[in-house]
Amino acid sequence: MYYKTTVLYVHVCYFFGSTLDPDVLPKACQYKDRNGNKRQPKWKNNDSSQYFPSYNISPQSYTPVLVSCKSGAQSTKQEISDDERELQAMKWGLVPSWHRGDPGSFGYKMNNARIESITEKKSFKGALERGRRCVVLAEGFYEWQEVKGGGQKQPYFIYFKEKVKHEENNEEDEMKSDRPLLTMAGIFDVWQPSSEEEPLYSYSVITLEAKAPFRSIHHRVPAVLKDEEAVRQWLDGSEIKYEQALKLLSPDDCLDWHPVSKAVNNSRYKEPDCTKEIDLSLAEKKAQRGKITNWFKKSPKKRETLSGSTEEPATKKEKLEQ
């Protein structure tokens, strides 16, 4: 499934990012239904107010996901749509439906769901049995590589390897992009405190043990759905049971990546250069120059001590002699 879009981003330690406007996102998620007709998924209840585009999105934020209209994502009070899919803004970090009390009091981090234990954990298995499977949308995600010597980890931006060719005479400028929209397998649940209050929709990204060459970046990787057929099968919970769907998920060589600025380590940094490729050798030289500059900015007292001077600074000698 190839979506033409501007920018959307994710994290496996992760941060997601999405700068695609809510009005443009349905166009980016165009698909063909079972009859071969082109369709654009609508926002659930025509409401995208919880989704705020950003270059750097951390867990507990709301991001866009795709769900099947038969998956139980829709309210029981709402008639089933003729469309096969719909868009919904969900909170990243699953809160299970059985949780009692405020969602913020749920004490477990549920940003990711490890495929090795997904059917063993009550929080995840319940959602799977209800057919609550979703597709998390992003142009890419950030991951952090361990640095030799125990220094600050180096972030990378990861995305689909394939490039999308621009269509001629495309009047939608905001739809032009060199990358297809990344699609990742996820599960969601619906927590509702009472029938009078609005339910909370939240999700987890399914992760797998990474294989080479991605393993050089990180040992875990999201379960990427590499094409339209994979997306269709993952969303089709009415025909493809979760046991079979999970077997379809595997690490793939469809990803590419490049290093980015360590500024993305801070989720409050949301500038457009978040995904810009950097030259690691130049970045290292700049860091070394910064260390030298900081050393020269130190006070004369500290410089004398660091340079191996055995003479006490005058002010300290005077104080000792008093």
Could you tell me if residue 310 is inside a domain? no
Q: Which residues of 153-178 are buried (b: 16+ CB within 10 A; e: fewer)?
A: ebbbbbbbeeebeeeeeeeeeebebe
Could you tell me if residue 236 is inside a domain? yes
Establish whether 13 is a catalytic residue: yes
Residues of the chain with pLDDT under 70: 1-19, 71-82, 107, 162-179, 285-322
Residues present in the chain in total: 322
Establish whether 143 is a catalytic residue: yes
Q: What is the pLDDT of residue 92?
A: 93
pTM: 0.79
Could you tell me if residue 317 is inside a domain? no
How far is it, in rounded angstroms, from Cα 100 to Cα 98? Answer: 6
Residue 140 bridge partners (DSSP): 9, 159
Q: Residue 295 carries which DSSP code?
A: H
How far is it, in rounded angstroms, from Cα 110 to Cα 21? Answer: 27
Q: What is the pLDDT of residue 291?
A: 53
The structure tokens 């003479």 sit at 311
Could you tell me if residue 268 is inside a domain? yes
CATH number, position 110? 3.90.1680.10
| Under 8 Å between Cβ of 61 and 28 | no
Could you tell me if residue 263 is inside a domain? yes
Could you tell me if residue 303 is inside a domain? no
Could you tell me if residue 202 is inside a domain? yes
Could you tell me if residue 217 is inside a domain? yes
The pLDDT tens digits of the residues spanning 38-72 come to: 999 999 999 999 998 888 888 899 999 999 988 65
- Count structural domains, the chain: 1
The pLDDT tens digits of the residues spanning 221-266 come to: 999 998 899 999 999 988 899 999 999 898 878 999 999 999 999 9
Q: What is the pLDDT of residue 309?
A: 43
Closest by CA to 132, choosing from 43, 70, 191, 50, is 70
Options 29, 134, 143, 274, the catalytic residue: 143
3-state helix, strand, coil in the chain (%, to 5): 25, 25, 50
Q: What is the pLDDT of residue 147?
A: 86
Domain span holding position 68: 15-166+173-293
Q: What is the pLDDT of residue 54?
A: 82
Q: What is the pLDDT of residue 70?
A: 80
